[in-house]
Structure 1
């Protein structure tokens, strides 16, 4: 089945691959995670077919496959180092593997007692160099100094880790049972604040503000919460409804990504739509039509000119609604300034 795009085709590129995506440096689900490079237009995607793949995005929007990291189980997450020379991939095989982009060599650098669900690079933790932070269903996060084969330290979580994000020095970890753990990475082994999600149902994703002052959280109830890290800013906290159709069916919020320049953000969900939002003026900037399948992961590239999103079934309606042979696709959308630039408030978000 060919899915209808939410924008003209000349603004998009389709990838026929089972993958999650990170633009040198994004994260998905069946497409489990994705990331865009912070220094080049490289796209990485983790997939349930046991691989994290890398493509190079050309100036004309075409793509060239470059490399892949192989796991012994579904690949669940991927993330790039700040300098774009290394890609980390975590999987259901409990292994964390890192590829050196300059040499093409892949080595295992992390391990857990259960699947690795999320990971982020961070620099300067405790005076150290670059570290990889991994979160797992084994109810721990671990900090890996890439110069040694054992974790620098491990921190117990209240439950299985579902999502994690870093905007130095802020790190936010979301676990099962709606626990939210907030860390100042200048003191990484001590929790800065622990709270229960402001949303009533299971957490799907957390994403830190680019300026590290707070984070957004999305859940299966079609709602997003905006939370400030410091108690003194609590008056700025709010939540709003999204990803609900004309029949008032509620869909999960699967992905939240912040624009690197404007600080506005995207949400994407089980209804197959994505939207751009301005948290400061509390309004939606633009909404796109459904692609016909769930959107499982999103990412902006390094300068905010490309938006990548992955379309694949997110299992939100159970196995009985899965369509055998349904395509798993990644699209690139060429952003216009008016899509994501903040605007004066006109209509408040629905609380």
Structure 2
């Protein structure tokens, strides 16, 4: 059967925390961060241009588990965040690692904004660090530090906005241009002077009653989706007008009927939007990947069960491939990672596979 998933060789030895495709349109490079304290760089295409088992190009060791990774201004630069409290820049040409800043607790997420040339990290110390990467910036400058009302769980960005989902169902939406401007205005040399109280563009309370697991922004800059530990997804729009806010909705998903006829509910660990069609994929603790048309409120595709939790999902920059990270999700209360249970699968998508049946 065409368009099967291909399993990559040389996966991490412990749970996968993040998986990202290169930002270059025709690239098939991905980076993967893991609890085994490493970041992995893979090239998916073989010499004939086909997606095969993939080749592990490089591996970068850290002092502690790595919780997030992203590409930077091009596919030769990555940024990492993890339990060593550091935000690191890694030059893939030279393998040089540079610490951009250190938080006061584990760093859960890191994002690079190409439009504003800034790196933003979110830490369990309840702060954001915003790093200006301008060539003319002071090389010794420190990031501005933005206090958060509670611990961040997930973060996603569009060309203009940053969405931070936190504990206590809190959600902040920041204007990226304003954050970049504040960072540029800071002389960046006084640690205390770099703590800035920033008023978010919007403050919201999550539409979901239980802890947020993931947030992902729409590629058209119109809104975002969030998921929870309790098998639900909410879709919302940035526009604060009553008409637009009336469009928001939430739905149940990633549930399986148990032997007693009662639903077994799984966390929705991963969300990612298709860059061309604006549909989105979800991955759950039930080992299922589903495709959703958020505008028409329908699931239009579901893939076979992976028999282990989905920990991360990503589409390539041109939307032609989807990568799936599979790791034990510890839903059964056990925290061991048996050998061979951590896997990465990649699928070359059919021309309209991610389009959504309701779209024309």
TM-score range for the pair, normalised by the shorter chain length: 0.7 to 0.9
TM-aligned CA deviation for residue 325 of structure 1: 3.0
| Pairing 1:172-251 to 2, within 5 Å after superposition | 172-188=163-179, 189-232=198-241, 233-247=244-258, 248-251=263-266
Which structure has more relative contact order (CA 8 Å, sep 6+)? It is 1
TM-aligned CA deviation for residue 159 of structure 1: 1.2
Does residue 266 (structure 1) correspond to residue 257 (structure 2)? The answer is no
Distance 1:123 1:10, change over 3 A: closer
| Pairing 1:62-77 to 2, within 5 Å after superposition | 62=52, 63-77=54-68
Q: Secondary structure at the match of 2:256?
A: coil
Question: Which of 55, 58, 80 is equivalent to 1:89?
Answer: 80
Does residue 293 (structure 1) correspond to residue 319 (structure 2)? The answer is no
Q: Secondary structure at the match of 1:65?
A: strand
Q: Give the paired residue count.
A: 325
Gaps of 5+ in 1: 1-6, 20-28, 346-351
Distance 1:10 1:251, change over 3 A: closer
Gaps of 5+ in 2: 180-197
Does residue 140 (structure 1) correspond to residue 123 (structure 2)? The answer is no
The question of whether the paired residues in 2 share the 8 Å contact of 1:16 and 1:327 is answered with no
Give the Cα–Cα distance (whole angstroms) in 2 for the partners of residues 165 and 323 of structure 1.
Answer: 28
2:22 is matched with 37
1:3 is matched with none
| Normalised TM-score (structure 2) | 0.85
Question: Which of 9, 12, 23 is equivalent to 1:18?
Answer: 12
2:353 is matched with 339
Give the Cα–Cα distance (whole angstroms) in 1 for the partners of residues 211 and 332 of structure 2.
Answer: 15
The question of whether the paired residues in 2 share the 8 Å contact of 1:264 and 1:277 is answered with yes
2:51 is matched with 61
TM-aligned CA deviation for residue 251 of structure 1: 0.3
TM-aligned CA deviation for residue 131 of structure 1: 1.4
Calculate the aligned-residue CA RMSD, in Å: 1.9
Larger radius of gyration: 2
1:126-148 per-position Cα deviation (integer Å, ceiling 9, x unaligned): xxxx2110000000011012353
Q: Secondary structure at the match of 1:319?
A: coil
Q: Secondary structure at the match of 1:186?
A: helix
TM-aligned CA deviation for residue 124 of structure 1: 4.7
1:158 is matched with 149
Does residue 253 (structure 1) correspond to residue 272 (structure 2)? The answer is no
TM-aligned CA deviation for residue 13 of structure 1: 2.7
Q: Secondary structure at the match of 2:19?
A: strand
1:327 is matched with 341
TM-aligned CA deviation for residue 336 of structure 1: 1.2
The question of whether the paired residues in 1 share the 8 Å contact of 2:23 and 2:71 is answered with yes
1:102-124 per-position Cα deviation (integer Å, ceiling 9, x unaligned): 33322222211111100100145
TM-aligned CA deviation for residue 323 of structure 1: 5.8
TM-aligned CA deviation for residue 326 of structure 1: 5.2
Does residue 283 (structure 1) correspond to residue 298 (structure 2)? The answer is yes
The question of whether the paired residues in 2 share the 8 Å contact of 1:285 and 1:339 is answered with no
TM-aligned CA deviation for residue 10 of structure 1: 4.9
1:348 is matched with none
Give the Cα–Cα distance (whole angstroms) in 1 for the partners of residues 10 and 323 of structure 2.
Answer: 14
